[in-house]
Amino acid sequence: MKLHTFRIGGVHPDDHKLTAEIPTKKAELPKKAIFPLSQHIGAPTKPVVKRGDKVKVGTLIAEAGGFVSAPIFSSVSGTVEKIDNVIDATGYLKPAIIINVEGDEWEESIDRSDKLETVESHPELTPEEIISRVKNAGVTGMGGAGFPTFIKLTPPPTAKAECVIINGVECEPYITSDYRLMLEHTDEIIQGLYLLMKAVKVEKGYIGIEDNKPKAIEIFEQKTAGDPRIEIVPLKKKYPQGGEKQLVDAVINRQVPAPPAIPVNVGAIVQNVGTAFAVYQAVMKNKPLFERYTTVTGLQVKNPGNFLVRMGTTFGQLIDYCGGLPEGDNKVLAGGPMMGKSVASLDVPVCKGTNSITVLTGADAHRKKVQNCIRCGKCVSACPMGLEPYLLATLSAAQEWERLESEDVTSCISCGSCQFTCPAHRPLLDNITFGKGHVMGIIKARIAKAKAEAAKAKA
């Protein structure tokens, strides 16, 4: 079996896939569900419900707040208690809709049957109709930054899609939610891929899966055998192969240029397996995005597992279901140990992008003592974007924004490979992320000023 991978950088952290062979269970309903109004890149949503309103599972509770935005639907039935500020996974107070759960009554428009609907049996589905249903169902990227999916399906006129690549890599340590989804809903993911291909009018689809998931590779090869439109691409295990630019390089041997270039500029539309599944449910079952597969894991967690979780369920409830927090020091991450964010409270709710809750204990819960840089260059070798992380971190700390921009800090994908490989334990990613955010703000202000001056000149 020939294995592919990306060309630049990468690291090999321990897998720790503790829950890989644990079938998914349905998580218990929360007593109170919390829905932050900002669950994706772009504008926050706007509430369409108020205190005292009754809702069902699948009821629209917040509409898109701009073009780059996606609506939010209730995952429970009950009564809206209030709209208030809560701490989300970022650690900041954000507006959220809070619903008291009073049962499990679903909107009648949702098809809850297990019947597999195929694209071939629905010739009435035009590309425009598929995109419209995806948009209206609030589907966002389920494996990364949570970009509204309909936008990826409507690329700019200057870019032409040639293929759709499904990301089944799941290279982050500990997390197995995508893996279980691939084993348990293979047919739906394949139909989701067909829908995505039809939406962007291409005849070629790829599914990239790392070779530490042989069962997933085998079942997808069996299910797609004889269909020349679909190719299963086995990949060498290497982090961060799940990054879309790295995946494009690994699967079709094309490298995406620096921002503002995106994968479609080299002909590829990339979607996570969870997104493909959500697209299938949205288009074929009229089911909005209000639940997702999530892993709860950690070396000292008593009963780790994979769960189908209603959004709005708190981290604390899921951790309690797995036996509670271990004794001693703990760090709870939204995500995995490489890119996950430490949460400030267990009252943080599961949202559209919560693929894992990872509990680090003991020494793993603490940063190691920072030492002086020894100029070893390991961070440079590890960087999958070909950057110089030691330099970017230093410039960020010194607040040299102009130089930082010129050194291409906006290309950083925040994968953490540099910080992982640094023998001096320098907080490289932390500094780079700070600097990147500041530079992005400068760039946005510059663009806004240019637009304003252009409009003034026209007037």
Residue found by looking up tokens 């995995």 in the block = 336
Q: Determine the pLDDT at residue 93.
A: 92
Q: Determine the pLDDT at residue 146.
A: 85
Q: Determine the pLDDT at residue 37.
A: 96
pLDDT at 171 over 80: yes
pLDDT at 145 over 80: no
Q: How far apart are the first and last CA of the chain?
A: 63
pLDDT at 1 over 90: no
- Tell me what the mean pLDDT of segment 216-239 comes to: 97
Write out pLDDT tens, residues 271-328: 999 999 999 999 999 999 999 999 999 999 999 999 999 999 999 999 999 999 999 9
pLDDT at 262 over 90: yes
Question: In the structure, what pLDDT confidence band is assigned to residue 458 with cuts at 50, 70 and 90?
Answer: confident
Question: Largest Cα–Cα distance in the chain?
Answer: 67
H-helix segments, 225-342? 244-252, 273-285, 315-321
How far are the Cα atoms of 23, 174, 316, 334 from residue 295, in angstroms, in the given order?
A: 11, 8, 14, 10
Question: In the structure, what pLDDT confidence band is assigned to residue 186 with cuts at 50, 70 and 90?
Answer: very high
Buried b (16+ CB within 10 A) or exposed e, 43-80: bbbebebeeebebbbbbbbbebbeeebbbbbbbbbbeb
DSSP code, position 303: S
Write out pLDDT tens, residues 231-241: 999 999 999 99
Give the dihedral of Cα atoms 7, 336, 178, 382; nearest 10 deg: 0
- Tell me what the mean pLDDT of segment 31-55 comes to: 95
pTM: 0.96
Q: Determine the pLDDT at residue 320.
A: 97
Q: Determine the pLDDT at residue 442.
A: 96
CB contact at 8 A, 202 and 228:
no
Q: What is the mean pLDDT of the chain?
A: 96
Q: Determine the pLDDT at residue 101.
A: 98
Q: How far is Cα 224 from Cα 208, in angstroms, rounded to an integer?
A: 13
Amino acid identity, position 121: S
- Tokens standing for residue 92: 């900041």
Write out pLDDT tens, residues 95-143: 999 999 999 999 999 999 999 999 999 999 999 999 999 999 999 999 8
Structural Rg of the chain based on CA atoms = 22
pLDDT at 459 over 80: no
Residues in a beta bridge with 87:
93
pLDDT at 40 over 90: no
pLDDT at 144 over 80: no
Q: Using CB atoms within 10 A of its CB, is residue 260 exposed (0-12), middle (13-18) or buried (19+)?
A: exposed
- Tell me what the mean pLDDT of segment 380-385 comes to: 98
Least confident of 137-146, 397-406, 407-416, 428-437: 137-146
Give the dihedral of Cα atoms 180, 181, 184, 186; nearest 10 deg: -130
The closest alpha carbon to 77, from 97, 57, 61, belongs to 57
The set of residues, in sequence order, having a beta carbon less than 8 Å from that of 398 and lying 6+ positions away, is none
Give the dihedral of Cα atoms 97, 101, 104, 105; nearest 10 deg: -60
pLDDT at 211 over 80: yes
CB contact at 8 A, 289 and 278:
yes
Q: Using CB atoms within 10 A of its CB, is residue 406 exposed (0-12), middle (13-18) or buried (19+)?
A: exposed
> Sign of torsion, CA 91 83 35 332?
positive
CB contact at 8 A, 139 and 278:
yes
